[in-house]
Structure 1
Amino acid sequence: MSDSENSQSYLRRLGTWDAAAIVIGGVIGGGIFRSASTVAERTSSGWQLLTLWAVGGLLTLAGVLCYAELGARRPQAGGIYIYLREAFGKLPAFLFGWTMALINYPGSVAAVATTFADYFCAAIGLGPMWVKPAAAGAITFIVGVNFYGIRAGARMQNLFTLLKLGAIVLVVVTGLVLVRGQLGVALDTDETHPLPPWAFLGALLPVLFTYGGFHYLNDLAGEVKDPQRTMPRALGLGLAGVVICYLLVNLAYLAGLGHAGLAASRAPAADLLRQWLGEPGARLIAVGIACSTFGYCSIAIAGGARVLQTMGADGMFFRAVGRIESRTRAPQIALAVLGGWAIVLVLSGSFGQLLNYTTVGEWLFHAFGIATLFWYRRRFADQPSPYRVPFYPVLPLVFVLTVLGVIGATTLDSPGDAGMSLMLVLIGVPVFYAWRAIQRRRAL
């Protein structure tokens, strides 16, 4: 039975531009407008800062190329969940879904929706009391649009990807206007010292966090046209565009604020625009950041819902969540569950610590997800693949080992958050076996 005939399967409606926009929109949220300051605090010169962003981009590109092969081999909704289930079994796959689809995805949606609401309310003159209602309203609107299927969600996403790229261009142009021959001063300082290896890895974490989200296209792989060709192209082109944007934005920050000014700023994009255009400039970039964060929420909700739906269809979550609406081919119940939980987190204000606790777990699952490539290569050695990651096994090994090194450095630097992250993952083990026992009793 073909996809078009099976009402419980997705339809392949996403073209190359749609898929590339998902990659760009899933990576560029609000992080680049804030986390550059954190990276500057952990470095002593502009050169070190740009080196970290370049290394983070190259490392993420290595991961993206590996995901391109995985997506071409298994072009199904669910992404990492599917790879882990096939390579390592249902328990690791459940732990991924438990950590990401039930905690990290809704937590990140709640956090970024609140960031959107902060900037949106500031831009139109609403007070702080409107932030939570605006964030909840944004999530409700996004879920409602995605109820109509992936094409409706893609049209909205394409629009907000263009708007967020417009915000990037505005920041870069401002940096060019303000540079006035001072970029060399901003790139270096009199007290530049090489970062020790562990300090370098620790400083890399906020960079990797800002590059996160590149996996959302794999979550939506079941709806990509000609996925064996489209997935590698969209992942590569999208991430390459992100790396260029991030390097240019950081150059603009350095040009306008200097390294010390960037390290001291809590809102570098607004501070930069304020120097050139005054308060109207700060309000203008606030609108741009609101568009950027709104677009990210759209992708996170769409991708996270596909993981939840796949878990439900697998019997690893409530069966009702595994249903796909026959007319729109959208996982409407999964969308409602994910969006509803994110709204609860917004209204309770409890998402901040959840994100701190799951960042390590997220990148740990990225490492395990890439590691499944070794299993696929060995298990299907005689099976041709439509796309193969170049420089295998070097690229996946570099990605996995570097991510594990960053996790190790983070654990030494923040043992509390890292320990809680691993604890949340491990709590899923008894939940998995309890769920299996309940399902077996129901089957009797």
Structure 2
Amino acid sequence: MSPPASSTYLRRLGTWDAAMIVIGGVIGAGIFRTPATIAERTGSGWQVLVLWTIGGLLTLAGALCYAELGARRPQAGGTYVYLREAFGKLPAFLFGWTMALINYPGSVAAVATTFADYLCAALGFPTLLVKPLAVGAIAFIVGVNLFGIRAGAWLQNVFALLKLAAIAVLLMAGLVLAYRAQGLAWTQAPPRPLPPGAWFGALLPVLFTYGGFHYLNDLAGEVRAPQRTLPRALGLGLTGVMLCYVLVNGAYLAGLGHAGLAASHAPAAELMQRWLGPRGATWMALGIACSSFGYCSIAIAGGARVLQTMGADGMFFSAVGRIDPHTRAPQVALATLGAWAIVLTLSGSFGQLLDYTTVGEWLAHACGIGTLFWYRRHAGEPAPYRVPGYPWLPLAFVGTVIAVIVATAIDAPGQAGMSLVIIALGVPVYYAWCWVERQVGG
């Protein structure tokens, strides 16, 4: 029996909105800080640009796989839905347990705090206002999304354009500084050879910075003509992100040089300060604040749809599974996710939670792409969109993700171990929840 029309989502997102969600979900605060880490682990500017290009192509492969999955099952919930259909309710619950209840709100808390940090630095506010501003940002984003996906998309589009504007300013700064130096600073130093193993170690933070493309699939139930729009938006959005990332790193290298970038703690602010002085650093702090705010908007919207789908499946409280008949927004799920993110923000415990769920997040990506093989084998209907290069493209992405997980476990065994413990704790919770549901239902 299908649900009544008033309890379902409305397809209101076009290609532009969907592409902005992809861009906004990937570009957060990382691109303004992570490049220094990559430069520190490499021996030349060319190696930096090659790594960002490789990372972008690998992530694009994953996005194209998610495009087929979204076209096959254009429903809210994304990876949760794919895992439920392919592997059953337990793996789907473990995904929701790890991501929607821990990783998503932890990410929101962390990035909202980053937003407040940079906003206070830009406006000269005292640091004691960081937590109130972070809480206010989360509450404001939840409040806007309560009015429906169009209001949330409007907010996201504005901040996606602002973060693209910040990137454009960085590109201009790099060109100006390169012109002043009469050449690109990063081509003037001799390259240092990089051992094969070091390439992979430098690729890890690149891949983490490209993460977040899956949020659009969480919102697939509200995308118009999803079989056509999802592949277009994911392909265009990730291509745009890769172009931005490579160009921004070129700007860092042009203005700071490879050695300067490797030694910098805040390359974006330093680049702007070299160009415009203290005023430039202030403007960049505002740009990073806008970029962080936009990411929070997408993470809250996407995470709430996963929670709502779990509630509708009986895998979470039934009230969370309701969709408001007037706004067609999962209002209870939005409020629940927002409230938990605020608790994490005030407690300051989000840092450890994110560290502990990193492996779980990448494992979810691998399992999500893995469902593509199940759909190709068992789904009777023809796919409206088929990822090119199957099975090699999804295999390349899954293999890379597994390598990332292994490398993370070697580099930080404690964090990886805790991540697996958190996932495993979901197993007794799942069976306890099913037992309670049977008792209540019986």
TM-score bucket of the superposed structures, by smaller chain: over 0.9
8 A contact 1:43–1:195 mirrored in 2: no
d(CA) in 2 for partners of 1:7 and 1:439?
25
Letter in 1 for 2:192: T
Calculate the aligned-residue CA RMSD, in Å.
Answer: 1.4
Residue aligning to 1:195:
195
**Does 1:269 find its partner at 2:268?**
yes
Q: Gaps (5+ residues) in structure 1?
A: none
CA offset digits 1:243-265 (Å, max 9, x no partner): 00000010111111111211221
Letter in 2 for 1:410: T
Residue aligning to 1:363:
362
Residue aligning to 1:59:
58
Q: How does 1:331-346 map to 2 (within 5 A)?
A: 331-346=330-345
TM-superposed CA distance for 1:188, in Å, is: 7.0
Q: How does 1:246-325 map to 2 (within 5 A)?
A: 246-325=245-324
d(CA) in 2 for partners of 1:205 and 1:438?
42
Q: How does 1:6-25 map to 2 (within 5 A)?
A: 6-25=5-24
CA offset digits 1:187-207 (Å, max 9, x no partner): 57446122323x322322211
Letter in 2 for 1:6: A
CA offset digits 1:313-347 (Å, max 9, x no partner): 11111111101111000001100111111111111
CA offset digits 1:41-78 (Å, max 9, x no partner): 22222122112111110000000000000000000000
Residue aligning to 1:231:
230
Letter in 2 for 1:52: L
Q: Gaps (5+ residues) in structure 2?
A: none
Letter in 1 for 2:378: R
d(CA) in 2 for partners of 1:205 and 1:345?
26
Residue aligning to 1:437:
435
**Does 1:326 find its partner at 2:343?**
no
Letter in 2 for 1:341: W
TM-superposed CA distance for 1:386, in Å, is: 1.1
8 A contact 1:45–1:188 mirrored in 2: no
Alpha-carbon distance change, 430 to 188 in structure 1, aligned in 2, over 3 angstroms = farther
8 A contact 1:47–1:188 mirrored in 2: no
d(CA) in 2 for partners of 1:412 and 1:189?
33
**Does 1:108 find its partner at 2:113?**
no
8 A contact 1:361–1:421 mirrored in 2: yes
d(CA) in 2 for partners of 1:87 and 1:387?
18
Residue aligning to 1:36:
35
TM-superposed CA distance for 1:419, in Å, is: 1.3
Between 180-189 and 78-87, the greater mean CA deviation after superposition: 180-189
Letter in 1 for 2:370: A
Residue aligning to 1:169:
168
Aligned residues: 441
d(CA) in 1 for partners of 2:417 and 2:201?
16
Out of 409, 422, 433, the position equivalent to 2:420 is 422
Letter in 1 for 2:193: H
Out of 395, 398, 401, the position equivalent to 2:396 is 398
Letter in 1 for 2:252: Y
Identical counterparts, % of pairs: 72
d(CA) in 1 for partners of 2:91 and 2:147?
32
Residue aligning to 1:354:
353
Letter in 1 for 2:111: V
8 A contact 1:44–1:189 mirrored in 2: no
Between 67-76 and 203-212, the greater mean CA deviation after superposition: 203-212
8 A contact 1:109–1:297 mirrored in 2: yes
8 A contact 2:27–2:291 mirrored in 1: yes
TM-score, length of structure 1 as denominator length: 0.97
